[in-house]
Structure 1
Amino acid sequence: MRHSVDSITTQIRPGTSRRREVVHFAPQQINAARDAERTRIGRELHDVLGAHLTALRLTLELVRRQAPNGNSALSSALESLEHGLADTQSAVSTLAHDLHPPELSHGLSMALRAWVRQFERRTGLSCAWECDDTAAFDALAPASAAALFRITQEALNNAAKHARATQLRVTLAARRQSVTLTVADNGSGIPAGARRKSTSLGLKGMHERCVSLNGTFRIENVQPCGTAVRVTLPRRAGSATLS
């Protein structure tokens, strides 16, 4: 009887272990697929839509040159179209960059620094930047670098939209076995209920990215005011494998 129980236990454990691997592996695959789709869309926006907008701008310039002089209504309409087209090109360029930042291929620290500066220009908010070990972050696995980049984007955008913050800070700190990202603001903070739900303000997505890479995710109100998002990932993030 004891032999039978041991045999059954032995048979169950491999199956249980495999299910755990699948559960752990799935979020990594989902995030990888999501990032790949972001990259594809970013390239399409830049290459395809960008080319069409450039063609429209050239057509407008041609129409302006051929338009009869003295037609103030037509000149005003063309000027309005040109301004609208320029705004659209700028918006598409910004969106394409957010979806597929070319700097990320040169290392996380450069990509984040560039995106933080772009965020400042776009929002008018002051955002301090600090990285204590550029080499450590640039040596991270692509999945870890992408996760930290996307979490920074989400956290800063949340602060700009919801926190009524005027000052923000992005800090990258490296330790022997781990790296930590902190995004802090001086805004109104996040209600405890929203933190517990973890579905508001993109918190669930940030949490899932961390868990899939064996990391930790914390969000807390800080004194005297504001919010801090802290993410810690192993420098060599473990990954589940399927055989």
Structure 2
Amino acid sequence: MVVPLAVGEAGTSAGAAAADAERRLRALAAELAQTRESIKQHVAREIHDSLGAELTAARFALANVEHALGAGRDVAAAALELAQQSLDAACEACRRLVQDLHAPNVEGGVVAALAQWTREFSERTGLSTSFVCAADVRLTQLPPDAALAVMRVTQEALTNVAKHARASHADVRIVTDAKRLTLIIEDDGRGMPPRARRAGAPSSASARGFGLPGMRARCESFGGALRIASRLRAESPGSPWHGAWPAAGNAAAVQPGTTVRAHFLWAAMAHERNEDTRRRAGRGSRAGHGR
């Protein structure tokens, strides 16, 4: 009687695990759909607010050139210069939009890609940004999907800092241990606003406003998790609050601002690397048979 019972328990456990995996898959699919919608809204806002505004300004500037032609050479030249500046600004807005949408080049490794991107981000936004990375050879062996996930979480987190935090500085660090790669982004800003603090679930509207569901999904796709801790500047030093997920480490040590910790499991990333190797080998084998 013991063996059938053990088999039954194993079957029940496997069924529960499968149901849990299915629920997680549905949740991730919903978050992916929401992330795609957020990207569409971001593109629409950028086109309207930056590119559209600059093109409108250029249109009016060019219209003024026609009126300035009769007012003399100097006036016309000034009007043309203004139109050129507006068109240059429109081109720059278009370049930034394409850059934001383009997948980062991680072929040279995630460390080099992050170092370059954070430097360009600092120059573009004026936010002082530092990047420090652990000396871990495994970072040079990340599969492209894992490296891209680390890049995207960094980009989303720093974009949040630039847009919402009113910070003067942000630190980006990668630390590693036997089990995990941990990406840490800290800023000295005002902390997350109350609406995000009251967000009861990662899928809430407030969380989506900060891109948190997409960040969380990228971590979970490699067996990890997202941890956020924040304290508003107006709050007392002894009253830290935790966002949608509990903070890792000593909460009392958190300074005014926000700390994002994104965890990725080496085992899950190694599995992806092995799968990528098998896919490449399969393509090579099919190509060989084709010849």
TM over 0.5: yes
Deviations 1:42-94 (A, max 9, x none): 9xxxxxxxxxx9xxxxxx9xxxxxx99x5445433332222122112222222
Aligned match of 1:47: none
Counting only pairs closer than 5 Å after superposition, residues 105-116 of structure 1 correspond to structure 2 as 105-116=107-118
Q: Paired residue for 1:218, among 192, 214, 227?
A: 227
1:71–1:92 CA distance, 2 compared to 1 (3 A): same
Aligned match of 2:233: none
Aligned match of 1:228: 259
Counting only pairs closer than 5 Å after superposition, residues 90-109 of structure 1 correspond to structure 2 as 90-109=92-111
1:177 equivalent to 2:179? Answer yes
Q: Paired residue for 2:156, among 154, 157, 175?
A: 154
**Conserved? CA contact 1:103–1:110, under 8 Å:** no
User: Alpha carbon RMSD of aligned pairs, Å?
Assistant: 4.1
Q: CA deviation at 1:128?
A: 1.0
**Conserved? CA contact 2:31–2:213, under 8 Å:** no
Q: Distance in 1 between matches of 2:112 and 2:13?
A: 45
Deviations 1:184-222 (A, max 9, x none): 001111257624523242222212222232102110026
Mean CA deviation greater in 130-139 or 114-123 = 130-139
Per the normalisation by structure 2, the TM-score is 0.59
Aligned match of 1:237: 268
Instruction: Tell me the SS of whatever aligns to 1:88.
Output: helix
Question: After TM superposition, what 4+ stretches of structure 1 lie above 4 angstroms from structure 2?
Answer: 5-19, 28-32, 238-241
Ranked by relative contact order (alpha carbons within 8 Å, sequence separation 6 or more), the top structure is 1
Aligned match of 2:166: 164
Q: Number of paired residues?
A: 216
Aligned match of 2:139: 137
Aligned match of 1:206: 215
Consecutive unaligned residues in structure 2, runs of 5 or more: 44-54, 56-61, 63-68, 231-252, 276-291
Q: CA deviation at 1:139?
A: 1.7
**Conserved? CA contact 2:174–2:181, under 8 Å:** yes
Deviations 1:17-66 (A, max 9, x none): 5444444445379759x79xx8xxx9xxxxxxxxxx9xxxxxx9xxxxxx
Per the normalisation by structure 1, the TM-score is 0.70
Q: Distance in 1 between matches of 2:136 and 2:6?
A: 52
Tell me the amino acid that sits aligned with residue 262 of structure 2.
V
Aligned match of 1:46: none
1:209–1:101 CA distance, 2 compared to 1 (3 A): closer
Q: Distance in 2 between matches of 1:230 and 1:92?
A: 32
Identity over the aligned pairs, expressed in percent?
Answer: 33
Q: CA deviation at 1:11?
A: 8.0
